[in-house]
Structure 1
Amino acid sequence: MKKIINDPANVVAESLRGLAAAHADILRVQYDPDVVIRADAPVAGKVAVISGGGSGHEPLHGGFVGHGMLAAAVPGAVFTSPTPDAVQAAVTATTGDAGALLIVKNYTGDVLNFETAAELAAAEGLDVRSVVIDDDVAVKDSTYTAGRRGVGGTVLLEKLTGAAAERGDSLDAVTALAEKVIGQVRSIGVALTAPTVPHAGTPSFDLDDGEIEFGIGIHGEPGRERIPLEPADALVARMVDAVVSDLPFASGDRVLLFTNSMGGTPLVELYLAHGIAERLLAERGIVVERRLVGPYITSLEMQGMSLTLLKLDDELTELWDAPVNTAALRWGL
């Protein structure tokens, strides 16, 4: 294992110290339990949008704390759900009379721990709602989930709900928007290599040089099938078919296309794949109106990529374009 780390047990805490040092104008970090908090939180009269999960997927979630996105993010250990007390600390630090929305990826530990935290917050008199995102079309159940996994759509959901909260929408309205987005976003991922968790020291799975894992999750868990490595045209076509056929998306649909690196795929390959995906969608009559390309929800150093499609309407497009100022996403300010 070759990584730029000290003690594997301290990776997350040391990383958070660096995040806080680099972006003190946007966020602050509270330790023990670890929580990344918007610098000006709590904001009076504004719904607090809070998310979190295991570390190792950066910039998700801490990189999306700030104006127009998350009020707080709760990082667990690498690939491990944060504890309920950490989630509760995030709620307490950011939530006022307007209430809070918890965005939870559909992994068993996350769902259980965020639910427990919501119950604890409710006992304190806070109005807290939760939504669970499950946009992965690869598998119905997996190592970590009952049902589909929450993957790339999480980034889009955090941006859109954060924008709605920023413009002053009520908790009911932000929650309804979240449920709408979850209903019309789909993702698929592939891996060329496995990630290595620092405290494990060995890759999560083994792939021969001529193989790829199709339909992986963000923790390096197995996918839909193991297939021979194929040229980018064929691989992206396979991915587009899987996503488009699931909702399904149809000719005339307006979409946001999110082409994501799993951490180890360079931008030269990612843009190549994105261009192929745009062409294939255009051939189906699907109109790509907004785009996001880059490493925004990763799996440590895994070589691979994911494609996410979100069906747009005028409201979602307006919310996507709304100003945002976080460590990882910035525009309009």
Structure 2
Amino acid sequence: MKKFMNGADTFVAESLDGFVRAHDGLVMFGPGRKFIRRTHLKKGKVAVISGGGAGHEPMHVGFVGHGMLDAACTGHVFTSPTPDQVLAAIEACDTGAGTLLVVKNYDGDVMNFEMAAELAQAGGRSVDMVFVNDDVATEAAPRSTGRRGVAGTLVVEKIIGAAAESGMPLETLKRLGEKTVAAIRSKGVAIGGATVPGGVSATFALGPDEMEMGVGIHGEPGRARSAFQNAETIAGLLADDVIRALVAERGRDVLLFVNGFGSTPASELYLMYGAMRKRVEASDLVVARSLVGSYVTSLDMAGLSVTLAVLDATGCEFWDAPVLTPSLRWGH
């Protein structure tokens, strides 16, 4: 498959190099280029660190900066960063108040971040973790270790990042993170698979009249293949599953986040946002905050996901708080 690259083996490193050069006022490489960190660390603030495989950009590196992440570790395409990358980020970004790791619920990520946390704790550092598991498509999947962490990770990183910026201590920050995770649900749909650098075909193939419901962000096929439908029907299918899993009381404020997987034009994302908003409001939920765009991608997958997050007054406050990162910024 054709890609703008020099080689599959250098794809991630060269992409990260270009990213840092493009945003050198906000971010920089850590020692050994093992991670990307914000240029200026804040003394006495809990460090918030996340990461994952390449291919999801702008997540996670695009969310490094004031009001969000202190550092992000990037592995090979769709592959978890190694424990030594995460440990290096902890050691570099801990300014005295400890570190909170935000981890998507995938086996590789969980194992490697837990190992790094244990090594850091053995060295006398205060480290805790929050696991994101918002994907309703894997609620009761066979051989599953629970719901996957997908686009809702952005919401968790934004709210935790703002709370950490305000001076919230590690123990309280972890509780806020767990509360935030519990109030988020997502589901994705695709009409075409992702093409991995160096690969010869897409991760899954669909006929001209087919779609996949419940796809993941690592190019995984969906939980069900069905006939392609119009936007209103697709929005209804997604909304019904996400709202049912959210178990939110009527009248609650929610964030509605429509996220593109890489190849879906903004015009289609906004069209789907409009269709989704009608379905959400028809369920007596109040769309108090919105986000639309390709923020948690799966390389060039043609598809999108819908995320709903219940927001209380604290959640709204930290969502609205100033943020200045390469890919998310407001209030400055």
* TM-score normalised by L of structure 1: 0.97
**Gaps spanning 5+ residues in structure 2: where?**
none
Match of 2:123 in 1: 124
Once the 2 structures are TM-superposed, how far is the Cα of residue 157 of structure 1 from its aligned partner?
0.3
Matched residues in 2 for 1:200 and 1:110: separation?
A: 23
Matched residues in 1 for 2:31 and 2:18: separation?
A: 13
Instruction: Indicate conservation of the 8 Å contact 2:54/2:79, yes or no.
Output: yes
Report the 3-state secondary structure (helix = DSSP H, G, I; strand = E; otherwise coil) of the residue aligned with 1:150. Answer: coil
Letter in 2 for 1:299: S
Once the 2 structures are TM-superposed, how far is the Cα of residue 126 of structure 1 from its aligned partner?
0.7
Report the 3-state secondary structure (helix = DSSP H, G, I; strand = E; otherwise coil) of the residue aligned with 1:8. Answer: coil
Question: How do 1:141-180 and structure 2 match up within 5 A?
Answer: 146-180=145-179
Once the 2 structures are TM-superposed, how far is the Cα of residue 271 of structure 1 from its aligned partner?
0.2
**1:6 corresponds to 2:20:** no
Match of 1:268 in 2: 267
Deviates more, 1:236-245 or 1:200-209: 200-209
Match of 1:310 in 2: 309
Once the 2 structures are TM-superposed, how far is the Cα of residue 280 of structure 1 from its aligned partner?
1.2
Instruction: Indicate conservation of the 8 Å contact 1:16/1:29, yes or no.
Output: no
Matched residues in 1 for 2:47 and 2:226: separation?
A: 43
Report the 3-state secondary structure (helix = DSSP H, G, I; strand = E; otherwise coil) of the residue aligned with 1:260. Answer: strand
Matched residues in 2 for 1:132 and 1:199: separation?
A: 31
Match of 2:86 in 1: 87
Question: How do 1:215-234 and structure 2 match up within 5 A?
Answer: 215-234=214-233
Matched residues in 2 for 1:104 and 1:142: separation?
A: 20
Match of 1:24 in 2: 24
Question: How do 1:172-191 and structure 2 match up within 5 A?
Answer: 172-191=171-190
Letter in 1 for 2:305: S
**Gaps spanning 5+ residues in structure 1: where?**
none
Matched residues in 2 for 1:141 and 1:147: separation?
A: 7
Deviates more, 1:233-242 or 1:203-212: 203-212
Instruction: Indicate conservation of the 8 Å contact 2:251/2:286, yes or no.
Output: yes
**Identical-residue share of aligned pairs (%):** 50
Matched residues in 2 for 1:210 and 1:28: separation?
A: 45
**1:75 corresponds to 2:74:** yes
Match of 2:35 in 1: 35
Report the 3-state secondary structure (helix = DSSP H, G, I; strand = E; otherwise coil) of the residue aligned with 1:17. Answer: helix
Matched residues in 1 for 2:174 and 2:222: separation?
A: 30
Deviates more, 1:244-253 or 1:24-33: 24-33
Alignment root-mean-square deviation, CA: 1.3
Matched residues in 2 for 1:199 and 1:50: separation?
A: 29
Match of 2:204 in 1: 205
Instruction: Indicate conservation of the 8 Å contact 2:203/2:221, yes or no.
Output: no
Once the 2 structures are TM-superposed, how far is the Cα of residue 141 of structure 1 from its aligned partner?
6.2
Match of 2:318 in 1: 319
Matched residues in 1 for 2:50 and 2:184: separation?
A: 18
Matched residues in 2 for 1:147 and 1:75: separation?
A: 23
Question: How do 1:231-310 and structure 2 match up within 5 A?
Answer: 231-310=230-309
Instruction: Indicate conservation of the 8 Å contact 1:30/1:36, yes or no.
Output: yes
Aligned CA distance change for structure 1 residues 112 and 141 (closer, same or farther; 3 Å): farther
Report the 3-state secondary structure (helix = DSSP H, G, I; strand = E; otherwise coil) of the residue aligned with 1:75. Answer: strand
* TM-score normalised by L of structure 2: 0.97
Aligned CA distance change for structure 1 residues 312 and 18 (closer, same or farther; 3 Å): same
Once the 2 structures are TM-superposed, how far is the Cα of residue 249 of structure 1 from its aligned partner?
2.5
